[in-house]
Amino acid sequence: MIYYNLAEAALKVSTDEYPELDVTQYINRLDAYADVIRTRLHTAAGVSEIVEEINQYLFDELGFTGNIDDYYDPRNSYLNDVMDRRLGIPITLSLIFIEISRRLGLRTQGVSFPGHFLVKCDMDDADFLILDPFAGGKILNRDELESRMHSLYGEHPGIADTLEELLRGASQTEFLNRILNNLKAIYLSAGNFEKALYVIDRIVKLRPDLMEERRDRGKVYMALECFTPAINDLEAYTRRVPDADDSNEVRDYLIDLYQRVGHIH
């Protein structure tokens, strides 16, 4: 069996919620999906034919679909849940598409398009396809992509350069960071600080350069009344980003925390 870092990394995120999760079982299932599709392909199948077969099997036969009715359900961001329920959001459905397509020899990457994660599939002639797994693997043409960009940014003269930049392939770190940020937002919105802490811990380990994550973890520690680690994180933030827009607010938090720790001692 071949291990694929992106799927394994996403499943490791799931182990925070499901400590007994059998990661290998889900890797094997991805292998099995690809094996089924492989039996349906001609030896000389091109990129478009492979994409069509993936879409047919994944979305039509297996019934993977976007969870429009409960988009912010955290299960949409846990890969094992998405595979079990066959419900997900753009980034997790994209991950499954990418994992299957790579097993079939396609060169695919995630695209961290604003508002809606997509998949970029390289063609043999240096061109590429952009697919939307949240819409059943629909291939998007340039007009549709520009329309999506206009809806987010409005009209402006630099659209061509901007679109090309937005279609840049996402690194594994960017991919995982976006999954984790989805979970972070969900848990913070629900006031579930214990679970938010697990998620932010992973973000800090993944992106130690993002000092705002240290700040946010400090705030979560405050909410959980874990005052010493809250001080450590917020002090690190003020040292590294002394001129941040919220520096006065963070210093006020620290004053309050110093007083609380003093009272405890």
Letter string b/e over residues 148-178, b meaning 16 or more CB atoms within 10 A of that residue's CB: bbeeeeeeeeeeeeebeebbebbeeeebbbb
The per-residue pLDDT for range 172-222, each reduced to its tens digit, is 999 999 999 999 999 999 999 999 999 999 999 999 999 999 999 999 999
Q: What pLDDT does residue 106 have? A: 95
What local confidence, expressed as pLDDT, does residue 158 receive? 58
- The reported pLDDT for the residue numbered 3 is 36
List the Cα angle 11/223/200 in 5-degree steps.
Answer: 25
What is the 8-class DSSP label of residue 134? G
pLDDT at 129: 94
Domains of the chain: 5-166 (3.10.620), 172-264 (1.25.40.10)
Question: What pLDDT score was predicted for residue 147?
Answer: 86
Tens of pLDDT, residue by residue over 44-92, are 899 999 999 999 999 999 999 999 999 999 999 999 999 999 999 999 9
**Selection from 75, 74, 70, 53 nearest residue 137 by Cα:** 53
Residue 226 confidence (pLDDT) above 70: yes
Which among 108, 88, 117 has a CA at the least distance from the CA of 34? Answer: 108
